[in-house]
């Protein structure tokens, strides 16, 4: 049995051939004819830059370990010397991630306060992202007995932010709940539909918050994140379905402002929809 370490679904046995260790790394999603590659979040990229900046004060660094919120340790390529480090975000096979290639700069500063400071090009920092960043910072400080602080900047943050959904924040938001970016593209949607068809009952979610809620509260239903691709899975799944997600996203999808409207649209696409849960 081979299980995806991020979303915890099982892969069909007939797909499990070749280098299955790629799947366990978290960076690869198995498909019927090969792989799709996940990317890394801005939070993982920032963590890599911080770790590399500190490490470069004590040794030569071109790759650095980063602990992700799902417990997987990644090795990320970096450029680092004398307390200044650069880490580059990559989006994997994501078809439309405008932050692909974004560079995060970290500067280790010998201020004896142990703080993480955010400077030029940084917009909002989510709670989950901050937890990952602080965890990695503390682990690195402990490893090298480092007592200083670190400054984070995103040199092109203001420019790239204009291409995102939050251009008014003055920079790029640092986000991420798993440490990984799903490689959203047509092939991923097709692949996840094929995987979902192995199950009799699934919970279809719009994102990680819904996925986590479904995992904890609907034990008989395998949770899947389908993001904005709810219509595709509803049209192609024959078993029972529960839809779980944030109201704003589901209202937008259904074009309705209440649970009843969402449920009505969902059942027009698939009569086996049992319920809609708004978080």
Residue 157, class by beta-carbon neighbours within 10 Å (0-12 exposed, 13-18 middle, 19+ buried)? buried
Q: Which residues contact 122 (CB under 8 A, 6 or more apart)?
A: 152, 153, 154, 157, 171, 172, 174
How many Å apart are CA 123 and CA 140, to the nearest integer? 24
CA dihedral 256, 259, 264, 265 (to 10 degrees): 50
For the CA atoms of 151, 79, 157, 70, what is the dihedral angle to 10 degrees? -80
How does pLDDT run across 101-125, given as a tens digit for each residue? 999 999 999 877 889 999 999 999 9
| pLDDT given at position 167 | 64
Cα–Cα dist 40/250, whole Å: 26
Percent of the chain at pLDDT exceeding 70? 98
pLDDT by residue (tens digit) across 124-156? 999 999 999 999 999 999 999 999 999 999 999
CA distance 29 to 279: 28
Q: Report whether pLDDT(48) > 90.
A: yes
- pLDDT for position 165: 67
HSE-CB of 51 using CA atoms within 13 angstroms: 30
**CA-based nearest residue to 221, from 234, 240, 238:** 240
219 by Cβ neighbours in 10 Å (0-12 / 13-18 / 19+) ranks as exposed
Report pLDDT digits (tens) over 207-258. 999 999 999 999 999 999 999 999 999 999 999 999 999 999 999 999 999 9
Q: How far is CA 97 from CA 90, 147, 185, in A?
A: 9, 36, 10
Tokens of 203: 């919970």
Per the CB < 8 A criterion, the answer to whether 186 and 94 are in contact is no
Question: Edge-to-edge strand order for the sheet containing 84-88?
Answer: 63-67, 73-81, 84-88, 103-109, 149-153, 116-118
Contact 236, 193 (CB under 8 A): yes
pLDDT over 80 at 166, yes or no? no
- pLDDT of 168 reads 60
Distance CA 277, CA 23 (A): 31
Q: How many Å apart are CA 222 and CA 225, to the nearest integer?
A: 10
pLDDT grade for 261, boundaries at 50, 70 and 90: very high
3-state secondary structure 45-103: HHHHHHHHHHHCCCCCCCEEEEECCCCCEEEEEEEEECCEEEEECCCCCCCCCCCCCCE
Phi, psi of 77 (to 5 degrees): -70, 140
Joined tokens for residue 70: 């799902």
**Which helix (DSSP H) or strand (DSSP E) does residue 40 occupy?**
strand 39-40
Residue 29, helix vs strand vs coil: strand
């Amino acid at each position: 049995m081979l299980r995806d370490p991020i979303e915890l679904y099982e892969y069909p046995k007939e797909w499990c051939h070749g280098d299955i260790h790629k799947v366990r790394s978290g960076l690869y999603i198995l498909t019927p004819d090969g792989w799709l590659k996940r990317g890394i979040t801005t939070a993982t990229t920032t963590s890599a830059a911080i770790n590399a900046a500190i490490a470069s004060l004590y040794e030569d660094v071109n790759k650095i370990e980063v602990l992700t919120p799902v417990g997987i340790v990644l090795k990320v390529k970096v450029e680092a010397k004398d307390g200044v480090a650069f880490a580059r975000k990559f989006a994997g096979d994501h078809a439309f991630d405008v932050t692909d290639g974004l560079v995060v700069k970290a500067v280790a500063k010998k201020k004896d306060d142990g703080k993480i400071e955010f400077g030029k090009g940084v917009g909002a920092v989510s709670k989950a992202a901050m937890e990952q960043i602080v965890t990695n910072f503390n682990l690195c400080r402990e490893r090298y007995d480092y007592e200083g602080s670190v400054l984070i900047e995103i040199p092109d943050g203001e420019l790239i932010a204009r291409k995102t959904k939050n251009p008014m924040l003055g920079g790029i938001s640092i986000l991420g709940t798993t440490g990984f970016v799903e490689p959203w593209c047509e092939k991923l949607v097709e692949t996840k539909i094929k995987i979902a068809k192995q199950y009799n009952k699934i919970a279809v979610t719009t994102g990680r918050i819904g996925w986590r809620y479904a995992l904890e509260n609907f034990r008989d239903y395998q949770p899947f994140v389908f993001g904005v691709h709810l219509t595709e899975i509803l049209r192609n799944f024959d078993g029972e379905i529960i839809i779980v997600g944030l109201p704003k996203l589901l209202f937008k999808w259904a074009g309705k402002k209440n649970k009843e409207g969402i449920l009505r649209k969902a059942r027009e696409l698939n009569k086996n929809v049992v319920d809609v849960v708004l978080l």
